[in-house]
Amino acid sequence: MKGAGNMRQSQETRSPFDLARISQEGYRSGGFRSINEEIRPDLRGNPDLAGVGIFFQQSTKASFAYVQSIIHGSSADRCGLIQHGDQLVAVAEAGEWPRNVEGQNLHMIRDKILGKQGSFVRLQMRRPSTNEVYEVELMRGSPEFIEIMHVSSDLKEKQISSNARIQELESQVAMLRMHSDRLQAHAQTVQVEEDPRIGPLEEELSARMEDLRRFEEMLLASKEKTREAILARDKFAEQLKDVKSDFDLLKEKLSLSKEEESRLVHENESLKGQISLLKVVASFFRSMRCKFSMQSYRIEVLRSELQSIKERDAKLGQRLTSGHRAIAQHSEHSTKMADNEPTRQKLYSTSSSAASSENKLQYFA
């Protein structure tokens, strides 16, 4: 890799609660696959997983993942080095080699960054203005969790410093007491008139006694501060216990919410199935209604035709009745004619005879 120039910093030994152990080195690399989306917190995800407070985004116009925004109070915000627009190059767990995330979508990058609260992750970032790479090691956790860890670290450091100061003061007090005892013993064995050094020694003894008194006051003040620090630590521990209790309660509520959500999803899927079935049934009924409409129309047509046939049959019946009457009248007339046939025959014979006689008369004439 090429050097990062004036952005290179020396490694320093820091406490486990240091949120920004930074080492910097630069190199050029290719772009990311363009995805028009961004990493946002998943409130429905695993509550035991946490990020570092950075919203990454990829757009169709850029081939890299870049910082869209930073959550206030998060470890990324407390680091103070990451800026808007910085590009993500690689991700690594603490103590591992960085893994380049080029070509990976935001969901894959998100899975690499998320982890257990309190654990560390290293991010390699590129500053677009200088095209140089820097590396930050950040603690995973919500802003509240990071604040708790930061306050706990400060209290621990103050307690260590106070204990060291108390030990130093106690050592100085012990030395002053020993020196004072020696001076007093020496003053008792020496004649005041015979040794001119008694005066300066008494002055030194008085000064040492004053120093002893002052150091004892400082020791008491340090012990009081230590006691206050212990009380503050105990109070903070109690608050931390309450926060953990609230967090466990939230986890339980979230678990219940997940169960409720799962139940609602199941009911939603069931309702979707019922809706689909109802749509099929409705479609079937629509088709049947269309068929029934066609059948009704055909029935109306058949009724109209049947009515026409009935009217025609009625007319035919009337004509048949008239014909039967005519036939009956004709039969009656025929019967009468048959009854009158002998008389008619006689009349015909008589007429024929008369005609014959007349013809004969004409012939003879």
Position 290 confidence tier, pLDDT thresholds 50, 70, 90: confident
Cβ atoms 76, 97 nearer than 8 A? no
**Residue 357: what pLDDT?**
57
| 37-46, 54-63, 210-219, 297-306 — most confident range | 297-306
Same domain for 238 and 202?
Answer: yes
Cβ atoms 158, 229 nearer than 8 A? yes
Both tokens of 306, joined, read 């049947």
Q: How far apart are CA 205 and CA 210, in angstroms?
A: 9
229 in a structural domain? yes
Last residue in a domain, options 206, 238, 253: 253
Same domain for 109 and 217?
Answer: no
Last residue in a domain, options 220, 253, 286: 253
Same domain for 34 and 92?
Answer: yes
| Closest C-alpha among 120, 73, 114 to residue 94 | 120
261 in a structural domain? no
Same domain for 24 and 100?
Answer: yes
68 in a structural domain? yes
Same domain for 117 and 207?
Answer: no
Cβ atoms 89, 124 nearer than 8 A? yes
Q: Is the dihedral of CA 182, 183, 184, 190 positive or negative?
A: positive
Same domain for 105 and 74?
Answer: yes
Residue-number span of the structural domain to which 33 is assigned:
13-141
281 in a structural domain? no
48 in a structural domain? yes
Cβ atoms 91, 65 nearer than 8 A? no
The mean of the pLDDT values for the chain is 72
pLDDT digits (tens, 9 = 90+) for 37-51: 444 444 344 556 888
What is the arithmetic mean of pLDDT over 13-39? 35
Same domain for 116 and 159?
Answer: no
Same domain for 118 and 157?
Answer: no
- We report the CATH number of the domain holding residue 57 as 2.30.42.10
pLDDT digits (tens, 9 = 90+) for 203-239: 776 777 777 777 778 777 777 877 887 888 788 778 8
Cβ atoms 86, 62 nearer than 8 A? no
Q: How far apart are CA 350 and CA 309, in angstroms?
A: 58
Half-sphere exposure of 129 (CA within 13 A, CB side): 4
Q: Is the pLDDT confidence value at 92 over 80?
A: yes
Same domain for 154 and 123?
Answer: no
Query: Residue 122: what residue type?
Result: R
Same domain for 133 and 25?
Answer: yes
* Predicted TM-score (pTM) above 0.85: no
Enumerate long-range contacts of 340-347, CB under 8 Å, 24 or more apart.
none
Q: How far apart are CA 53 and CA 30, in angstroms?
A: 25
Same domain for 126 and 217?
Answer: no
pLDDT digits (tens, 9 = 90+) for 124-154: 888 888 888 888 888 888 877 777 766 666 6
78 in a structural domain? yes
8 in a structural domain? no
**Residue 25: what pLDDT?**
33
Same domain for 124 and 219?
Answer: no
Last residue in a domain, options 208, 235, 253: 253
What's the structural domain count of the chain? 2
